[in-house]
Each structure stands twice: as structure tokens, then as C-alpha cells.
Amino acid sequence: MKKLLALALVFVLTMSLLPIAMADESVADIIAQAQTMTNEELYKKAIEESKGKTFNAVGNSSRGKSVLPLFIEELQKIDPSYTLEFSWQQPKNNNIFAQLDADVNSANHEISMTLIQDGNQIQSKMLDTGYLLNFVPKEWAEAEDVAKENNENPLALQTLNKVFMFNNLGDKTYTNMWDFVADGEAPLFMGVNSEPVGKNFLYMMTSEKYSNWAKEAYEAWDGKNEEYDALIEDMKLDVKDLGLTAENANYGLTWVLLWCDQYNQETDDGPICNTLVTKSAAGQTGLLVYSKLRSIEETAESSVNNITVAAYQDGYTGIGGYAYKHYVMLTKTSPLPWTACALIAFMTTTSEGFYAWGKDMGGYAPVAACMQDHSQDGYVDGVNTYDAKNDRGYDWWLNDGQLVVEDPAYCASVSGKMSAWIDGIVAGK
């Protein structure tokens, strides 16, 4: 009798888990099929699946709301009677991870896809758990001009840059990344715990590639001295304690230490930009979203011409800022997976789908055909009036501009110890 009861219990538990297993397999199988299809084939599948239904998504960018009507119009070219209700939520205070977790583990799944940032938490909370699944559109993979490195897994909708700027009205110069952490400097920056991508940037500074860049810049810096030399040498102990393995991690970590000890915390990049462009901010510096320059109103007190983008200077040495990404993925329990795949394909492979993000400088699609040219955004009536607004583009920023690019796996591997180390420095200021 006990054996029969035990077998019955195993049967009941197995049957109770079947819906979850079947849902997982179903979405993963659909993704595998979808990756072999053209956009038009995906659009037809989406019409069959979601006509007259409601599509729910969550995203860190509110611009997703504006792309869905365009997506519906695209599907109506195939089926004029197609309709779709939609909800695009933008959770506040980084609650997007909790919302996705709750939906995946609920009895009634509502969220079909997400547009999400913060590679560290994406890796540890969404990818390692299998809660989010990656989909690479066929037309994305086969595009003639597509930047696949660091953009394919997970799939990036766009790369955004935060760059070093300084007010050029004083007599200070900033021609090296170490100038921004020299004694007495207080660069404006969003707090490391108010925007996690900024903390990811600091993690990345200890990786092989970027710590090498930090060393090269230090060796070329005219401000280096015995005190900095000693600090860099002493930092080898912290490198060991933190379990960092890059050969020159002590250079990157020293820069992080000085940055965290000296930056002037602000609540948002908007106020930072508005401060830097004023006449009264002579000699001040900041690390902020490049695209904020687009919204500066020219007045007697404020002008884009009052600031210099550090990396745009001839002879500038070292990193020009950092890059973070918006990734697009399906939930593993997506109620409308075909529609999610079709929408992701529309957003990442067509200029219409990417327009909501591509219309401004400082946001770059991996597929070049999606991008708009912002290289002359600073021109007025054919005259180069605001040179800082002339965006030099994705390839330039990653190579000549030397952006530090977020790697989710690396961030997740070092954040356990480094997060507390950084917090300790900031708290002790």
C-alpha cells in the first residue's frame, strides 16, 4: 500500500509539472522555428496567433509604446482586418526583474517579451535561470552590415553611450582619462546604485581589455607621479582579494577607486547636462548620456558650445566613456511567442521599427540599415554650429572613442565582491 501511495504521489507531482515543462519547450521550439523565417513569414504567424488579442510587454524604455502602432500597421499590410490591443509597461526603480520573475512563476502568464537593461542582473536573474529566452531574427543574422560582437547573445536592440564631457570656458584641459580622477576633480555622475549600468561600467574597468587601456593611458599621462605609482602597486592586494584575474587589473581598479572617491553624485543625466553647459560651470566635468545634448536650449547663459566631448579632441588618450545596451528577449512562458518574435524582428531589422530609438544621436542599432545619420546634427542652415552634437557613429565610438562595453557574463562574475567594495568607497567619502 505504501509503495502504491508513493507511486501515486510521484505521478501527481509529475503531472503537475507538465504544463510548465510543455510551456518551456513550446516557446523554445517556436523560437528555433522563428529563427529560420523571414520577417514576412513571422508577420503572418503573428497575425494567426494574436489577431484580436492583447499583447503585453515590459521595458526600460518608454519608446516601446510608439513602435507597437507601427508594428500593427505593418501587419495590416498583409491582413487589413488585423487588430491588436497592447500594454507596454515601464517599471520604475529597477523593478522590472521582480515583475518578470513574478509573471514567469505565476499561474497566469501575461508578459510576452521585454526590452531590458543591466547586463549584470540580466545574466544572474534572467539568463542563468532561463526566465528569458534569446531570439535572433534570420534577417538580423543575414544582414550585410551587422555588428554581431557583443550584440547577438542576448540580442541587443541598441547600444547607448555615456561620454566624458567638460565645460571648456575655464583654463583646464582634459586630454587623458586619468585627468578626470586627478586630485581635486569632482566629475558629475549618477550614483552607482541609482543606475546599475554605471556600476557595470566600473566592473568592466577591471577586465583584461579595459584595464590594459587604463594602463596605456596612465603611462601616457602627464599627471602621473610617485603617489599614483604607489597606489597602483598597492592595489594589487585588492585585485587578489576581489579575485580579479586580468594582468593589469590594478590599473583599472585604481581608476575605479579614484572615480568613486571623487565623483559628485547627481540624480539624473538631465540635470548634469543642464549644469555643464552653463557659463558658471567653467572647468566642471561629467560622465553622462551623449544624447542629452540634443535637448539643450541655447540661451545667453547656456550653450552646447560651452562643453567639449573629451574623446572628440585630437590626441585624447584612454576611454571616452562607456556603452550599455537595451536587450530584447522573450519570457520563457510567453503567451504570444510568435507575435513577440515578429515584433523583435520588426524593431531590430527595419528602420521603421527602430525609428523610435534611432531618431536621436547616441543610440546605435547593430544593423546599420536601421540607423539614421546624425553626423551633422550640429549643423544649422548648412553651417557647423554645434560641433559636439555631430555624432561620429557606432564604429567610431567603439574604436576611436574607446567606449567600455558592458559584458553581462563578466559583470555577473565579479559583482559579488566588487559591488560591496565600490559601496564601501562611496560610503566613506
Q: pLDDT digits over 339-398, tens only?
A: 999 999 999 999 999 999 999 999 999 999 999 999 999 999 999 999 999 999 999 999
The dihedral through the CA atoms of 52, 56, 57, 63 has a sign that is positive
**CATH code of the region 159-324+386-427:** 3.40.190.10
Specify the pLDDT at position 429: 83
Secondary structure letter of residue 181 according to DSSP: G
Report whether 151 contacts 290 (CB < 8 A). no
88: nearest Cα among 48, 60, 109: 60
Specify the pLDDT at position 9: 42
User: What is the rounded CA–CA span in Å between residue 414 and residue 427?
Assistant: 20
Specify the pLDDT at position 18: 39
Secondary structure letter of residue 415 according to DSSP: H
| Regions in the chain scoring below 70 on pLDDT | 1-24
Specify the pLDDT at position 333: 98
Q: Where are the domains of the chain?
A: 2-157+325-370, 159-324+386-427
- Counting Cβ atoms within 10 Å, is residue 1 exposed (0-12), middle (13-18) or buried (19+)? exposed
The CA–CA distances, whole Å, from 252 to 37, 94, 160, 204, 276 equal 44, 27, 22, 9, 26
Report whether 237 contacts 403 (CB < 8 A). no
Report whether 310 contacts 316 (CB < 8 A). yes
My answer on whether omega of the bond before 366 falls inside 30° of 0, hence cis, is no
Right CATH for 2-157+325-370 from 3.40.190.10, 3.30.200.20, 3.20.20.450, 3.10.20.340: 3.40.190.10
The dihedral through the CA atoms of 243, 245, 246, 251 has a sign that is positive
Q: What is the pTM of this model?
A: 0.91
Tell me the backbone φ, ψ of residue 63, rounded to 5 degrees: -70, -15
| Grid cell locating 86 | 497592447
Specify the pLDDT at position 21: 40
